[in-house]
Chain A
Amino acid sequence: MTINMGPQHPATHGVLRVALELDGERILKAEPIVGYLHTGMEKQAEYKTYTQSIPQTDRMDYLAPMSNNLAFCLAVEKLLGVTPPLRAVHARVLLTELTRLASHLVWLGTHAMDIGAMSMFFYTFREREEILAMYEQVCGARMTATYFRVGGLAHDLPVGLLERAQDFLDRLPGHFEEYTALLSGNPIWLARTKGVAVLPRERAIALGATGPMLRGSGVRWDLRRNMPYSGYDEYEFDVPVGEHGDAFDRYLVRLEEMRQARRICLQAIERLRAIGPGDYRLRDYKYVLPPKEDVKTSMEALIHHFKIVAHGFFPPQGEAYQGIENPKGELGFYLVSDGSPKPWRMKVRSPSFVNLQTLDTMVRGRLVADVITAIGTLDIVLGEVDR
C-alpha cells in the first residue's frame, strides 16, 4: 500500500511530502517529494547584484541565517580574491557559532517534540530566544540577519554585545545539564532513537551526507577542521563522531557540537577583545562601500559609494566554489562571473537537500513511526531543500 505522509504533517518540519510504500507497518520504500517551497533563488540571483543576493540567503536555512550569509560572502570574497580585516573575521566566527547553537537548539526541541517529549521544546526555545535577542541587537532582525557583507560586516558590533554573549555562554553549561538530564537516560527517548534511522558509514559517504549526519556515522570530517576558512584554523575545538550511525549517536554528536560551539564563541570573544576597536570592513572601495562619514566629505568616496549602490561592483571573470560547515552540513556557493556586477550563475549546494536523499536508506524495513525519528534526526529545513 502506498500512503502519503505530508505535505501537511507537523513532524515534517514544513512542507515535506514522503510517499511511503508499506507492507503493513513495514516500510518498503520511502520517497521524499520536495519542491513545495521552491522560489527560484538561483534564477533570481542572476538578476541581482552580489550584494542584493545576501538577503536571499537568509531565507534559505532560516534557522541559521548568519551561516548562510557567511557562506555567500566567503564565496564572493574568494572570487574577488580579498580577505576581510581580522575584527570582521572573528566577529563572523562568534556570530556563526551562536547561529550553530541556535540551530541545534531548534533541532533538539523539535526532534524531541516529534518523539513525544514536549517539555524539551520550551527549554531549548528559552535559550534560543536569547540568541535571537542578540541578533536583534546586532542587526535589528531576529531571523533575517543580512549582517555580513562582502569584505566584512554591515556595521560594527554594537556596544555591550560581547558582555551579553559572555554572560549567556557562562550560563549555558547549566542548560546543557538540563537537556541531558531530560533525555540522555530517558527510556522512551532511548527506545525511540537507539538503533533507529541507521546510516552506515559507506552509505553516508556515497550519498554525499555532510555535517552531523556524516559525523554521526563515524566519519571525522568537519570543514572547519579539515578545510579551514574564516580563521577557523586558529581555534581550538574537538570534532565529535558517533559509532553506530543511529539517531541517538547523532543526538550525542549535536549535543557535543553545541558544547564545542560554546568553546569557539568564548575564544572568539577573547580575540575580539584583544583586537579592540578597528576596521570591521575592507577599505578596498572598488568592492566595499566607503564609511558614511567619508562619503559626506570626500568626492572620491562619494563616487565609489554611488557606483557600488547604482550598479554594484565588478568581479573578475571566473568562478569559485566555497563550502562552509553549516549547522546542517556543508553549505556551498558556486559562483560563475562573466565580469558583470550580476553573477552569471549561482548554484547553492544546500546540505538539507543532499542529506534528505539518505531518508530511504534510514527507514527501509523499519516501522512508520521511525520515519518521524528519521526526519527529525536529519534536521532539514525545507526553505533550504527547495530554495
Chain B
Amino acid sequence: MTPLPPGRVEERLRARFPGVEIRRQEGEAVRDLTLFVPAASLVEIATFLRDDPELDFAMLSWIAGVDWLPREPRFEVVYGLLSLARAARLTLKVALPGENPRVPTVTGVWPSADWLERETWDFYGIEFTGHPNLKRILLPEDWSGWPLRKDSPLGYDEVAFTHNTSERVKPAPELTRLKPKKVRTRAR
C-alpha cells in the first residue's frame, strides 16, 4: 500500500474529465481534499473513482447535507469517500439550488448510499433521482417538513405534560426569531 501523492486525485480526474468543471474548495481551514463536481456528471465521476485501479475509492463512507441559507446555491451534498487500498479519503461536493434540489443517486455505484441518501432526504428534502426506495428513515413516515434545514426551528413539540413551564412560556431568543410551525400532522 503506497500513499497517494498530493494532488494526484485531482490530476487524474481532470485528465479523465477535461470538459467537466471540477473546483477545489479553498479556505482557511478546509482540512481534507474537497472537490466540487457538477450534479450532472456525479455518477460518471463516482464510477471512475471507484473503478480506477490507482485511486480505488471502493467505499462510500458517509453522505452529509449542508444548508447554507440564505446563500445561493443553498444546499450542498457532501460525499465522504474512502480508498481502502490507498488509505486515502476524498470529499466530493455537489452544490444544489434552494428551489427543488435534486441530484442523481449513487446507489448504483456504492450500495451503501441507499440509507445515507435516505437520511439526507429525510433531513433536507434533497431528492436523489433514481433512488430505489426514497422514503423517510429516521423520522416518522407522517412527519412533514425538513428538520435540518436552517429555516426549520429547533422548536418545541406539543407535549402532554412538562415540568419546564418557564421554558415553555419563554423559549430561547433564537427560537422566537423563527416562527415555530406545527410540524406534526396526522395522516389518519
Q: How far, in Å, is B103 (CB) from chain A's closest CB? A: 17
Q: Specify which chain A residues have a CB less than 8 angstroms from the CB of B187 in the assembled complex.
A: none
Q: Is the CB of A206 within 8 A of B31?
A: no
Closest CB-CB distance, B24 to chain A, in whole Å? 13
Residue A208 is within 8 A (CB to CB) of chain B in the complex: yes
Q: A38-B139, A43-B147, A208-B61 are in contact. Are A321 and B80 (CB under 8 A)?
A: yes
Tell me the residues in window 31-70 of chain A with beta carbons closer than 8 Å to chain B beta carbons.
34-35, 38, 40, 42-44, 47
Q: For the complex, is A330 an interface residue (Cβ under 8 Å from B)?
A: yes
Interface residues of B in 2-54 (CB under 8 A from A): 27-32, 34
* CB under 8 Å from chain B, chain A span 299-334: 315-321, 323, 330, 332, 334
List, in ascending order, chain A residues with CB within 8 A of B136's CB.
35
**At the interface, yes or no: B111 with Cβ under 8 Å from chain A?**
yes
Q: How far is the CA of A349 from the CA of B84 in the complex (A)?
A: 17
B138: which of A207, A321, A386 is its contact (CB, 8 Å)? A386
A227 touches B62 (CB 8 A): no
Query: Restricting to B102-119, which residues have a CB under 8 Å from any CB of A?
Result: 110-112, 114-116, 119
Q: Which A residues touch B112, using CB under 8 A?
A: 206-208, 354, 357
Query: Do the beta carbons of A38 and B31 come within 8 Å of each other?
Result: no
B37 → chain A closest CB, angstroms: 17
In the assembled complex, the CB of A32 is this many whole angstroms from the nearest CB of chain B, namely 9
Chain B residues with Cβ below 8 Å from A349 are 61-62, 80
Is the Cβ of B111 less than 8 Å from the Cβ of A207? yes
Take A315-B29, A334-B78, A354-B112 as given contacts and tell me if A221 and B66 are in contact as well, using a CB distance cutoff of 8 Å: no
CA distance in complex: A332, B80 (Å)? 10
CB atoms of B62 and A347 under 8 A apart: yes
Query: Which residues from chain B contact A344 at a C-beta distance below 8 Å?
Result: 66
Say yes or no: is A141 at the interface (Cβ < 8 Å to chain B): no
Q: Would you call B32 and A38 a contact (CB within 8 A)? A: no
Residues of B within 8 A of A227 (CB): 87, 89
CB neighbors of B among A206-240 (8 A) = 206-208, 210, 219, 221, 226-227
Shortest distance in angstroms between A250's beta carbon and chain B's nearest beta carbon?
A: 18
With A35-B137, A42-B148, A357-B115 known as contacts, the answer to whether A219 contacts B84 (CB < 8 A) is: yes
A81 within 8 A of B: yes
A319 touches B110 (CB 8 A): no
- Tell me what chain A mostly uses at the interface: helix, strand, loop, or mixed: mixed
State A319–B33 Cα separation when bound (angstroms). Answer: 10
* Also in contact, A317 and B111, with CB within 8 A (given A332-B62, A344-B66): no
Provide the residues of chain B in CB contact with A206, threshold 8 Å. 58-59, 110-112
CA distance A43 to B147 in the complex (A): 8
Q: Closest CB-CB distance, B153 to chain A, in whole Å?
A: 10
On whether the beta carbons of B147 and A208 are closer than 8 Å, the reply is: no
**Count of chain B residues with Cβ under 8 Å from any Cβ of A?**
39
Contact partner of A332 among B30, B61, B147, CB < 8 A? B61
Task: Please determine whether B30 and A319 come into contact, CB atoms closer than 8 angstroms.
Answer: yes
**Distance (Å) between the CB of A138 and the closest chain B CB?**
30
Closest chain A CB from B88 CB (angstroms) = 9
Chain A residues contacting B32 (CB-CB under 8 Å) are: 319-321
Known contacts A38-B138, A227-B87, A334-B62; A79/B31 CB under 8 A: yes
Does any Cβ of B come within 8 Å of A189's Cβ?
A: no
For residue A25, give the distance in angstroms from its CB to the closest CB of chain B: 26
B140 at the interface (CB under 8 A from A): yes
A99 contacts the other chain (CB 8 A): no
Query: Roughly how many angstroms separate A323 CA and B62 CA in the complex, as a whole number?
Result: 11
Interface pair B138/A47, CB less than 8 Å apart: no
Least CB distance from B62 to A in Å reads 4
Q: Are B139 and A35 in contact (CB under 8 A)?
A: yes
Within the complex, which residue of B28, B78, B87, B114 is in contact with A318, where a contact is CB–CB below 8 Å?
B28
Interface presence of B94 (CB below 8 A):
no
Q: Given the complex, which residues of B lie within 8 Å of A35, measured CB to CB?
A: 136-140
The residue in chain B whose Cβ has the minimal distance to the Cβ of A349 is: B62
Q: Which residues of B contact A345 (CB under 8 A)?
A: 64, 66-67
Report if A125 contacts B (CB, 8 A).
no
Q: Which residue of B lies closest to A315 (CB)?
A: B29
Contacts of B62 in A (CB 8 A): 321, 332, 334, 347, 349, 354
Given A321-B89, A321-B91, A357-B112, output 15 extra A-B contacts at Cβ < 8 Å: A35-B139, A35-B140, A206-B112, A208-B116, A319-B30, A319-B31, A321-B31, A321-B80, A332-B80, A334-B78, A336-B66, A337-B29, A345-B66, A349-B80, A387-B138
Residues of B near any A CB (own CB < 8 A): 1, 27-32, 34, 58-62, 64, 66-67, 78, 80, 84, 87, 89, 91, 110-112, 114-116, 119, 123, 136-140, 147-148, 154, 174
- 3 A-B pairs closest in CB distance: A318-B29, A208-B112, A347-B64
Write 8 A-B pairs (CB below 8 A) sorted by A numbering: A38-B139, A47-B174, A206-B59, A221-B84, A318-B28, A321-B62, A321-B91, A345-B67
